[in-house]
Homo-oligomer: A and B are copies of this chain.
Amino acid sequence: MSEPTGLRARKKERTRDAIGDAAVSLFLERGFDRVSVNDIAAAAEISKPTLFRYFPTKEDLVLHRFADHQGEAARVVRDRKSGIKPVTALHRHFRAGLDRYDPVTGLNDHPEVVAFHRLVFTTPSLAGRLTRYQLEDEEALADALGDGIQARLLAAQVLAVQRVLARTNWQKIADGRTAHDVHPEAVAEADQAFNQLR
């Protein structure tokens, strides 16, 4: 029922983490395009082909943290308890994210997280690639919601709302406020936005 935690799987996961951590910390230190994949491979003590076996492109070295949340919205809809509407489930899930200051909500003031956001959104190739991830996420959510054009529209609107909320939160953090301080209005705005979706 669970993952078979063999020796192989454990080491693969560790290697993946080592590569991702080395990459992100180098990127934060010197900027995305001032770090070569060779540098990352050297820092993670692996070879270049091995690096590309774990991550298809250099961009994914940064975006794997988003990729880990890939399909989350679709899963939330699919796994909702019976009697609960999709939008409600998504709403609750987003609010739970706010409550635990999940970085994907934009409501997180850890310096490293803030710097990471900045890195992603000020590096064009990263921002570009990120939208591709969002598209896939949207399709998955649409499939979970149903078949017609309405499912597609709803999926797009939900994810657009989440992006706006996250970006708003992040902006406030970027202006120097603390996550704890911003939290109440973030919740209020989320409630308002999700209610308008119905």
Using a CB–CB distance below 8 Å, which chain A residues touch chain B? 7, 10-11, 45-47
Min CB distance, A19 to chain B, in Å?
A: 14
A114 to chain B, nearest CB (A): 34
Q: Closest approach, in angstroms, between the C-beta of A76 and any C-beta of chain B? A: 36
Residue in B7, B10, B47 whose beta carbon sits within 8 Å of that of A7 in the complex? B47
Chain B residues contacting A11 (CB-CB under 8 Å) are 45
The 5 tightest CB contacts between A and B, nearest first, are A7-B47, A7-B45, A7-B46, A11-B45, A10-B45
Question: What's the minimum C-beta distance from A161 to chain B, rounded to whole angstroms?
Answer: 45
C-alpha gap A46/B46 in the complex (Å): 18
Q: List 5 A-B contacts (CB under 8 A).
A: A7-B45, A7-B46, A7-B47, A10-B45, A11-B45
Task: Return chain B residues, CB-CB under 8 Å to A10.
Answer: 45
Q: How far is the CA of A45 from the CA of B46 in the complex (A)?
A: 18
Closest B residue, CB atoms, query A14 = B45
Return chain B residues, CB-CB under 8 Å to A47: 7
Q: Which residue of B lies closest to A6 (CB)?
A: B47
Closest B residue by C-beta to A7: B47
Assembled-state Cα–Cα distance A45/B11 (Å): 9
* Cβ contacts under 8 Å, A7 to chain B: 45-47
A47 to B10: give the CA distance in the assembly, Å. Answer: 13
Shortest CB–CB separation between residue A91 and chain B, in angstroms?
Answer: 43
Which of A7, A11, A46: most chain B CB closer than 10 A? A7
**Cβ-closest chain B residue relative to A45:** B7
* Closest CB in chain B relative to A136 CB, distance in Å: 34
